[in-house]
Structure 1
Amino acid sequence: MILLVLLASILILVVTVYQYDEQTKDYNIQRFERKEATTKQTIELELKNKTTYSVNTQNLPKIFQERIFEISSINKMNISMYDLQGDLLKSSIASAFEKIDNKPIPENILNELAQNSNHKIFKTREEKGIGYQSSFSFIHDPKFKRIGILELQFTQDNSEIEKELKEFMQRLGLVYILMFLIAIALAYFLSSYITRSIKTISDKMEQTRLNKRNEKIILNKASSEIGILVEAYNNMIDELGESAAKLARSEREQAWREMAKQVAHEIKNPLTPMRLTVQSFERRFDPLDEKAKEKLKEFSQTLIQQIDVMSSIASAFSDFAKMPTQKKEQIEIISVVKFALDIFNESYIKYYPEETELHANLDKTQLIRIVTNLVKNAIQATDKEENPLIEVKVLTEDNNLKIIVSDNGKGIAEDVKDLIFEPKFTTKTSGMGLGLAMIKNIIEAYDGSISFTSKEGVGTIFTVTLPKK
């Protein structure tokens, strides 16, 4: 809107100046032609009726000796008379006030005048803001014989016209400036009115989430186009809510199915050796055998061992199913991590705390569980290394606590990096793949984060970040 008003103002100013200039030129030419016609009629009457001299080229200065000044004064034009060769005979320019140009008519004008069927040539020029219109035509005697050349010159001072134009442009400019300011104000309020509604919609869209209840947009005053957009957004929110509910149900059902499959699979593993043991015992057990008691004891230990495995499976799934309780207490981190590392006998586990004491509000048991799980994974990753090395570092960064566990093990393959924290995913031949998933739940329950970097054949670095408060 502002750009259109500005362009329109500039174009109108340019057209106004151009039109004003053209009208001035046309007016001056028409005015000159009227004066020229009157002057020629006066000269012709003078030659026909009022002179006693013989009408010829030599007598023209005598005929218009004084009369030329009267005619010039009445019509306000400069009059000059030339012979047919272009030499000056008589001029109305007062020599006392103005310098008389005694130059003959240029050759090109004489040739053009001779070739012109209308016997008239019109010339215009401008010098220092003053316009000059001149005409050249033949002077005829009463018998229409050419006896001389008449030059009529009209001087037009355009300074007053230019002054008026300047004043007009100043007034017009003030009007356009006022219009421009009004256009800016209108554009500002109009854009504010439009963008306010759009801003409300964009804010709501930014807050839209799949996993939570989203609010609809309610606008009391809005254009029809914005109203259509709001209605489309509200319909989308309804559809999104229905889709989210369906997705949540589907995910829960899928999660239960996957969990049921995993529980069944893990329970089948110990049931198979239990079945084989019972069948073998049934075939080979002899009550009369002297070693019957020892065989019964061996059989019982095998069954108890498999039952313990099943119990640990049930406990693991139970622990994973329930979120860790957010218990917070003031603990000394350096000593707690050292306590968690003391249960390991491996000499290649190195501990590097950057501070002697470090306090934070965390659950001591859960912190030990995090460190223990990460170190266990590191031990298993370096199992086949010739010179295994595991480093545990504890440091602070701003208001956060960082625990870094690094190893020089086999690393994690690129194609499974995205699955590391998934439940039931594991790269080991034993275990249920719930360890990292459980500690991730624990860390996120404390508004922390866990990340890792790994390169195959080089090693892995796990970084745990937890808030101190």
Structure 2
Amino acid sequence: MKLKKLSLRTRIFLGMIILVLLASILIAGVAIYQYKGETEDYHKQRLERKEIAIQRHINYVLRETSYPVTTEKIPLIFKDEIYKIAEVHSLQLNIYDLDGSLLKTSRATLTLDTLQICMRTEVLNELSNKAEHRYIEKSKENGETFQSSYSYILDQKFKPIAILNLPFLENDNFLSNELNEFLIRLFIAYSFVMLIAVAIAFWLSKYITKSLKTISEKINTTRLEKRNQKIEIEDASDEISILVNSYNSMIDELEESAVKLATGEREQAWREMAKQVAHEIKNPLTPMRLTVQNFQRKFDPSDEDIYKKVDEYTKTLIQQIDTMSSIASAFSSFAKMPAQQSETLNVVKTVKLALDIFNEDYIVFSSDTDEIIAKFDRTQLIRVVTNLVKNAIQAIPDTKEPKIVVSVQSQNNDVVITVSDNGSGVSEENKHKVFEPKFTTKSSGMGLGLAMVKNIVEMHKGSISFKSETNIGTSFKVILPKEN
């Protein structure tokens, strides 16, 4: 999972948890590092204390001995005392002469190998070169760490007479146990802290993103065509307040723009409507004018065919007047739809009733059931069906054997009405104009039928779509919810 795909709330939550984990690991690392440093200092200081105590003990023996304090007499002086010193101080010790040869050791048994009998040359050199005449050597054997301390044994005149070697084993068992106990306590404490951190991180991430979630929900519901509510958030941070104020300002500007746009579109629509009405009315007015002028010019009361001519002139005028009346009715129906009056009805029966006004025998009706109960406006449902069927009839050319299929189906909570024909179809360049007012491919009519159908369907919270192929036919599909 990529980090960018995670929500802000999840990223804040994970960030705080990771921060606590890193702090725990860092503190544990510092504790272990501190332990190692303290352990090293502890062994160093312990060896120094042992060395000082043994040197004092040796000096005491040298002061109390009856033997001359010389290098050659060291084995005699410490013949028995070396064991007492080792027992008192719980530490083995070796005494070498100034040339590095072993003089006396506190070990009960001695394997006389080269390392024990003679000191290495580099150790002698380091010891003599040190200003404090003291040298410590570290080594590891069988996984255990040893420190060997080398220092001079001085006589009463502070003259070196021998070299004292103290092999010291670094026993870390006690300190290791202390570290383990500390780490266990630290783990328990941080486990408790982790639980608290998870709770705080969850609450904090939820608190931080709560305002953003509110803003996001408001933005998702923002629409140009409706009145949008402003965001009101109390106790918001400065950043959130800036964002909320920006959104509220945008809502004000959006509402102002929507009003201007709606006004402009309404004015444009009425201008287009006025142009269309003027154009459609001019068409029948011209033949009416010519008919009246012709009647005026040729009127002769003595003509024996005068009544026949008057009848012809009258029929022509009535025909043009009916055309103008149908134009006015069509525009009136489109401009002002009647109020929706929904009622519970049988859609199958209602669609059959709408088809009864057509006498064409090539109109076929089908339904998967005899009864589909839904809630619609009966008049508007009939208007949708009749307009689609009229459109289908007019789309079929005279060169084809016409066929129109009207079907009604029930799909879940929707009613699906389909009107299919085998007409000329709709060309690709005209498909996007089908539901536009005043669009038509016929020689007569105003092109308001499909626009009105679309208006009715959308008022019922439904949808209308079509599929068409040139010279094959067109199929209109209306989907309406059963409850309105």
Q: 1:29 aligns with which of 32, 44, 57?
A: 44
- Equivalences for residues 59-458 of structure 1 within 5 A: 61-81=75-95, 90-95=104-109, 100=110, 102-105=112-115, 110-113=120-123, 116=126, 117-118=129-130, 122-125=136-139, 131-136=145-150, 150-283=164-297, 289-383=303-397, 386-458=400-472
Tell me the distance in 1 between the aligned counterparts of 2:117 and 2:267.
Answer: 110
Cα deviations by residue, 1:328-363 (Å, 9 ceiling, x for unpaired): 444443343334334444444322221133343434
Query: For this pair of structures, how many residues does the alignment match?
Result: 464
**2:146–2:168 Cα contact (<8 Å) kept:** yes
CA RMSD across the alignment: 3.7
Q: Aligned letter for 1:408? A: N
Tell me the distance in 2 between the aligned counterparts of 1:108 and 1:260.
Answer: 125
1:301 to partner: Cα distance: 1.9
1:15 partnered with 2:15:
no
Look up the SS of the partner of 1:422 in the other structure: coil
Tell me the distance in 2 between the aligned counterparts of 1:107 and 1:415.
Answer: 111
Tell me the distance in 2 between the aligned counterparts of 1:375 and 1:226.
Answer: 57
- Describe the shift of the 1:235–1:168 C-alpha distance in structure 2 as closer, same or farther (beyond 3 A): same
- Describe the shift of the 1:28–1:349 C-alpha distance in structure 2 as closer, same or farther (beyond 3 A): same
Q: Aligned letter for 2:30? A: V
1:413 to partner: Cα distance: 3.3
**2:423–2:472 Cα contact (<8 Å) kept:** yes
**2:101–2:117 Cα contact (<8 Å) kept:** no
Cα deviations by residue, 1:29-61 (Å, 9 ceiling, x for unpaired): 23323433554576588679947379557x654
Tell me the distance in 1 between the aligned counterparts of 2:149 and 2:478.
Answer: 102
1:424 to partner: Cα distance: 1.8
Q: Aligned letter for 2:42? A: Y
Tell me the distance in 1 between the aligned counterparts of 2:95 and 2:250.
Answer: 94
Tell me the distance in 2 between the aligned counterparts of 1:342 and 1:399.
Answer: 27
Tell me the distance in 1 between the aligned counterparts of 2:69 and 2:255.
Answer: 116
Q: Aligned letter for 1:112? A: E
Tell me the distance in 1 between the aligned counterparts of 2:323 and 2:379.
Answer: 23
Tell me the distance in 1 between the aligned counterparts of 2:193 and 2:19.
Answer: 12
**1:324–1:445 Cα contact (<8 Å) kept:** no
Tell me the distance in 2 between the aligned counterparts of 1:56 and 1:423.
Answer: 127
TM-score by length of 2: 0.81
Tell me the distance in 2 between the aligned counterparts of 1:353 and 1:440.
Answer: 23
2:19 is matched with 4
Q: Which runs of 5+ in 2 are unaligned?
A: 1-15
TM-score by length of 1: 0.84
Identity %: 53
Q: Aligned letter for 2:120? A: L
- Equivalences for residues 48-67 of structure 1 within 5 A: 50=65, 52=67, 55=70, 61-67=75-81
- Describe the shift of the 1:280–1:104 C-alpha distance in structure 2 as closer, same or farther (beyond 3 A): farther
Tell me the distance in 2 between the aligned counterparts of 1:108 and 1:137.
Answer: 15
Deviates more, 1:429-438 or 1:276-285: 276-285
**2:438–2:446 Cα contact (<8 Å) kept:** yes
Tell me the distance in 1 between the aligned counterparts of 2:343 and 2:194.
Answer: 67
Cα deviations by residue, 1:114-164 (Å, 9 ceiling, x for unpaired): 554448653334678864212356889999999976532112321111222
Tell me the distance in 2 between the aligned counterparts of 1:80 and 1:458.
Answer: 116
Deviating 4+ runs (over 6 angstroms): 44-49, 83-87, 106-109, 137-149
1:267 to partner: Cα distance: 1.0
- Describe the shift of the 1:108–1:468 C-alpha distance in structure 2 as closer, same or farther (beyond 3 A): farther
**2:95–2:102 Cα contact (<8 Å) kept:** yes
**2:153–2:162 Cα contact (<8 Å) kept:** yes
1:263 to partner: Cα distance: 1.0
Deviates more, 1:201-210 or 1:348-357: 201-210
Q: Which runs of 5+ in 1 are unaligned?
A: none
